[in-house]
Amino acid sequence: MKKQKRIAILTGGGDCPGINGVIRGVAKKAIIEYGMEVMGIEDGYDGIVNNRYRKLEYNDVSGILTLGGTILGTSKTANPYRYAIKQGNRLRFKDMSETAIRNIKNLDLACLVCIGGDGTLGIAHKLFKNGIPIIGVPKTIDNDLIGTDITFGFDSAVWIATEGIDRIHTTAESLHRIMMIEVMGHKVGWIALYSGVAGGGDIILIPEIPYDVNLIAEKVIERNKKGKRFSIVVVAEGAKPKGGDIVIQRIVKESSDPIRLGGISFVLGRQIEKMTGLETRIVVMGHLQRGGSPTPFDRILATQLGTKVVEMIEEKAFGNMVGIRKNSLIKVPLKEVAKGYKKVPLNHPLIKAARSVGTCFGD
């Protein structure tokens, strides 16, 4: 009798709409078409280190397409190669990769499916080099993964941010205020660019284009003189002034990416209010961008990516991430994904279009 294949799925890093759609796509196709046994690893790589998992039956993944978050849980801090251990008030790091690899091998997996962003997939690449059969799925609201045109979660985040900007417009115009809307975007400005353009932002600030606060103030004053007594400023959390630095909210020592940003809008808002004499208010979209039900686009993309993963497992195309390029599903080597971030090109058509309608980028 042919041995039943067993696969496992984990979700790492920040949560975002669409993860459950991928879990559903992988599990349903694996069970229906190939009779595979599907395991769910709990809380990302923390579940690998501590051997926490459960079997996923068909009914476990039925009805989850519209749910936000992840039914498996996740972790932004767990890294088997630099695992944080607290001893009283002291924090130390230990290489737990041998334990993680042993636990994976004990599960006798045909493949470990890792759903995540650059951090999760960077760890996945290391595990693959250590002999674990792995396939990655691109998950991040930031849309910053190399090798794929788009990541699931991005469209949902843009919709949420755009709706926020739309609602801010009415109060900004009514009270003649400058409204600063801070959106996520640590190292890249995809969310700020897309939601800023979609929401009619007058000023859009992204990490890729360091800003000059004087030019921003001039833009606001110019609009005011023309009778536009309000301005909408959309700013990515990682935006920074020319010759300056990012605004750090706090440091999470146990995380592999310890810097947590947030607050640039408050700093910049105070500067602009002082320079223009116009009342300024701040709205931080924050984790609203990660929450709630995924858009139809992300549900469709998640389903496509999840089902493609099972085909890649059958082909033994390990060490790759499934990606999207020119509307086609492709295989991207994890070593390419792990090289860095996909930044917004300065000649991006959307930047050109925004400039053409008078949008200021602070430069």
| Residue at 247 is within a domain | yes
For 133, which DSSP code? Answer: -
Q: What is the mean pLDDT of residues 42-62?
A: 96
Q: Are residues 121 and 165 in the same domain?
A: no
| Mean pLDDT rounded to a whole number for the chain | 91
Spell out the residues 6+ positions from residue 19 whose beta carbon is closer than 8 angstroms to its own.
11, 69, 70, 74, 115, 139, 152, 153, 302
Higher pLDDT, 343 or 1: 343
Are 42 and 54 in contact by the 8 Å Cβ rule? The answer is: yes
Are 37 and 66 members of one domain? yes
Please tell me whether residue 21 adopts helix, strand or coil conformation.
helix
3-state secondary structure of 353: helix
pTM for the whole structure: 0.91
CA 37 to chain centre: 29
Residue 70 sits in the same domain as residue 204: no
Q: Count Cβ atoms below 10 Å from residue 63 Cβ, excluding itself.
A: 10
Region 200-227: mean pLDDT is 91
Q: Which two tokens stand for residue 186?
A: 């640590």
Is 349 inside a domain boundary? no
The pLDDT, as a whole number, for residue 26 is 98
Contact between 71 and 40 under an 8 Å Cβ cutoff? The reply is yes
223-234 pLDDT per residue, tens: 888 888 888 999
102 and 161 in a single domain? The answer is no
Assigned domain for 64 exists? yes
Residue 155 is among the residues annotated as catalytic for this protein: no
How many distinct structural domains can be found in the chain?
A: 2
Range with the poorest average pLDDT among 19-28, 163-172, 305-314: 163-172
User: Residues 327-341: pLDDT tens digits?
Assistant: 899 999 999 998 889
Residue 255 pLDDT: 58
Please state, in angstroms and rounded to a whole number, the distance separating the CA atoms of residues 340 and 202. Answer: 30
Same domain, 183 and 147: no
Cα–Cα nearest to 112, from 48, 52, 51, 62: 48
**235-268, pLDDT tens digit by residue?**
999 999 888 776 666 555 555 565 555 578 888 8
Q: Which of 291, 308, 326 is the last residue of a domain?
A: 291
More confident site: 34 or 257: 34
Q: Which amino acid type is present at position 24?
A: R
363 belongs to a structural domain: no
| Domain carrying residue 133 | 6-152+294-337
117: in domain: yes
**Which pLDDT score is estimated for 112?**
98
Q: Please give the residue that has the higher pLDDT: either 257 or 342.
A: 342
Considering the domain architecture, whether residues 32 and 105 belong to the same structural domain is answered as: yes
Whether residue 37 is contained in a domain is answered as yes
Check the CA dihedral 186-71-164-196 and report its sign: positive
Q: Band the pLDDT of 89: cuts 50, 70, 90.
A: confident
Write the CATH number for 315: 3.40.50.450
Model pLDDT for residues 90-138, shown as the tens digit of each residue:
888 899 999 999 999 999 999 999 999 999 999 999 999 999 999 999 9
Which is catalytic among the residues 142, 144, 155, 298? 142
Residue 264 contacts by C-beta under 8 Å, 6 or more apart in sequence?
182, 235, 237, 238, 239, 240, 246, 247
pLDDT for res 253: 58
Neighbours of 2 (CB within 10 A): 5
* Last residue within a domain, chosen from 234, 261, 291: 291
Which of these, 114, 21, 71, lies nearest to 306 by C-alpha position? Answer: 21
Q: What are phi and psi of 96, to 5 degrees?
A: -105, 20
User: How far is it, in rounded angstroms, from Cα 183 to Cα 198?
Assistant: 14
Beta-carbon contacts of residue 180 (< 8 Å; ≥ 6 apart): 233, 235, 265, 268, 269, 272, 280, 281, 282, 283
Whether residues 135 and 208 share a domain: the answer is no
**Could you tell me what percent of the chain has a pLDDT over 70?**
95
Last residue of a domain, one of 256, 291, 326: 291
- What is the structure's pLDDT at 230? 85
Contact 133, 109 (CB under 8 A): yes
Same domain as 91, residue 65:
yes
Is 221 domain-assigned?
A: yes
One domain, residues 73 and 133: yes
Residue 306 lies in a domain: yes
The pLDDT, as a whole number, for residue 254 is: 59
DSSP, collapsed to helix, strand or coil, labels residue 204 as: strand
pLDDT digits (tens, 9 = 90+) for 142-167: 999 999 999 999 999 999 999 999 99
Do 39 and 134 share a domain, yes or no? yes
Same structural domain, 130 and 15:
yes
Same-domain check for residues 12 and 145? yes
pLDDT value, residue 86: 81
